[in-house]
């Protein structure tokens, strides 16, 4: 995969929130993983980070309340876990930020079946949002659903199509309350994605709805 094949990128809002450390860990992981695959977003993130640094430097020259530095440091210590800045892509399927969560590459992933050949592996992140790897067999679909919050879906291998577009390796789909979709994997190859959600999905079908509490989707 070359980076110019990526057509679906992070929004400015997500990049800014990431560089400010304001995202739930699961979203932070999705952003870091996309950035590790995408030169364009890495450059945009770099711009936000130097902007943030400049703001901080200016702020230091302004008189601060005696305890404000301590309070800031405490906030940094107690805040959401920070996902390490993106490292260069490894040789396997999983980019470096993900390998740290899986404890290796794809062969270390502990998949659980969610039905219809689709498998998932929930990654260990803080519980304010959920990150999962999804395995969608070639030609198979994720049951159609809506969203109660934000869903980031980053393609790691293969591709899927939904009502909005086709997403290939490195592409990130951003869904919200307004989107109802049914992602379908391309016929040619099994699709592996990283999906991050901050609220349960809305399924139309009865079976997925019954399974929902067990699958944490």
Six-digit token string for 141: 């679909």
Q: Which is nearer to Zn ion, 3 or 72 (CB)?
A: 3
Nearest approach, Cβ of residue 210 and Zn ion (Å)? 19
Nearest approach, Cβ of residue 192 and Zn ion (Å)? 16
Q: Which is nearer to Zn ion, 67 or 215 (CB)?
A: 215
Q: Which is nearer to Zn ion, 57 or 201 (CB)?
A: 201
Residue 186: count of CB within 10 angstroms of its CB: 17
**Contacting residues for 14 by C-beta, under 8 A, at least 6 apart:** 23, 27, 31, 152, 174
Nearest approach, Cβ of residue 217 and Zn ion (Å)? 9
Residues making contact with Zn ion (CB under 5 A):
9, 38, 40-41, 151, 175
Q: Which is nearer to Zn ion, 99 or 132 (CB)?
A: 132
* 18: nearest Cα among 28, 10, 29, 8: 28
b/e string for 54-74 if b means 16 or more Cβ within 10 A?
Answer: eeeeeeeeeeeeeeeeeeeee
Nearest approach, Cβ of residue 123 and Zn ion (Å)? 17
């Amino acid at each position: 995969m070359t980076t110019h094949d990526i057509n679906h990128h992070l929004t400015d809002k997500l990049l800014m929130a990431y560089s400010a450390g304001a995202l739930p860990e699961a979203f932070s992981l999705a952003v870091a993983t996309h950035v590790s695959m995408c030169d364009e977003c890495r450059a945009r993130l770099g711009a936000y980070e130097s902007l943030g640094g400049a703001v901080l430097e200016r702020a230091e020259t302004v008189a601060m309340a005696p305890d404000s530095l301590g309070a800031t440091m405490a906030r940094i210590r107690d805040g959401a876990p920070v996902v390490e800045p993106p490292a260069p892509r490894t040789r396997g399927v999983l980019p470096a930020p993900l390998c740290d969560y899986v404890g290796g590459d794809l062969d270390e992933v502990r998949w659980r079946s969610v039905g219809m050949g689709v498998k998932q592996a929930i990654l260990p992140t803080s519980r304010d949002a959920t990150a999962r790897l999804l395995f969608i067999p070639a030609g198979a679909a994720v049951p159609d659903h809506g969203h109660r919050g934000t869903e980031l879906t980053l393609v790691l291998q293969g591709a899927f199509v939904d009502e909005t577009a086709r997403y290939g390796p490195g592409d990130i789909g951003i869904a919200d309350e307004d989107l109802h979709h049914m992602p379908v994997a391309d016929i040619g190859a099994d699709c592996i994605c990283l999906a991050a959600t901050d609220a349960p999905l809305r399924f139309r079908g009865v079976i997925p709805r019954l399974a929902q509490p067990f699958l944490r989707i």
